Amino acid sequence: MAEVSEVLASARIGVIGGGSMGGSIARGLAQAGVMAPERVFVCDHNPGKLQALADAAGIQTRANADELLAADPTVVVLAVKPQVLGALLEQVADRLAGRLVVSIAAGVALSTLEGILPGSRVVRVMPNLPVSVRSGASAVAGGSSATADDVELTRTLFSALGAAKVMREDQLDAEGAVVGCAPAFFALMLDTLTRAGIRAGLPAAAAREMVNVTMLGVAEMLKESGEHPRAYMERVTSPGGTTAAALYELEPLLAKGSYDAVDAALERTAELARS
């Protein structure tokens, strides 16, 4: 959309919260070249985090939300924990009026955010931690007051940090349970395969490096080719071979574990939403 390109060219992005996710978003936008560093602002109560962001990406830092909003950002990203989000919004709601506000707080519904921010255009995003290396995945859902351009602008910003897809809000919890938790799932897979290799007699460091590089290579091959993972798996599995024997044992356990893990994450998401 032409309107989105025009807004992006002059936008000023303010990120409230410079922790793992907020800091990664701010740094990623600046380093990806989507936003000039002088147009990216971040605030946090930890001066050390702010200094690290300024040193790494030339981002503009502010000590608190009041100072950040005084810089008049076009888009404000709320990157604080859900437990403290309500108190923060009560303090700054009036100064967020008229702005596009993007929340990454898990379990905090658009209706809740819009109830606290009646004068703002609200969009929810569920990103995952690999946005820190611009290889993350984010789901985007617009609120009732957000325009199509608001949603597209948000999607464009988060696309600079990996992949970003527009979804319905009722799909965000599932996306969080699958994609949001996936970095830990993949890290667990790397760790368990490494430990299996050590148990079979491989040197620990060598096993870890080889498993890590292999997973990265498979991901790159699937991304470049667009091949379905099942087709790739069958292509590298010889009939009656060692991989076939291994998959016979692993697949049912991994499938059940994946389903159960996502169900557990969804249950915990619902618990957090009720608290």
pLDDT for 3 equals 57
Residues 6+ apart with CB under 8 A from 168: 141
Concatenating the DSSP letter of every residue in 100-135 gives: EEEE--TT--HHHHHHH-TTSEEEEEE--GGGGGT-
- Give the pLDDT score at 4: 60
- The confidence score (pLDDT) of residue 6 equals 65
What are φ and ψ of residue 64, in 5° steps? -155, 175
Helix, strand, or coil here: 99?
A: coil
Predicted pLDDT of residue 8: 72
pLDDT at residue number 107: 82
pLDDT for the residue 237: 97
pLDDT number for residue 33:
82
Decide: helix, strand or coil at residue 138: strand
Tokens of 189: 């897979």
Instruction: Outline where the chain has alpha helix (H).
Output: 2-10, 20-31, 47-57, 65-70, 82-92, 110-116, 148-159, 172-175, 182-199, 204-225, 229-235, 242-274
Look at residue 186 in the predicted model and tell me its pLDDT.
96
| Averaged pLDDT in 10-residue chunks for the chain of 275 residues | 62 94 92 88 95 92 95 96 91 95 92 95 95 93 96 94 95 92 96 97 97 96 96 96 97 97 92 75
Residue 42's DSSP bridge partners are 15, 61
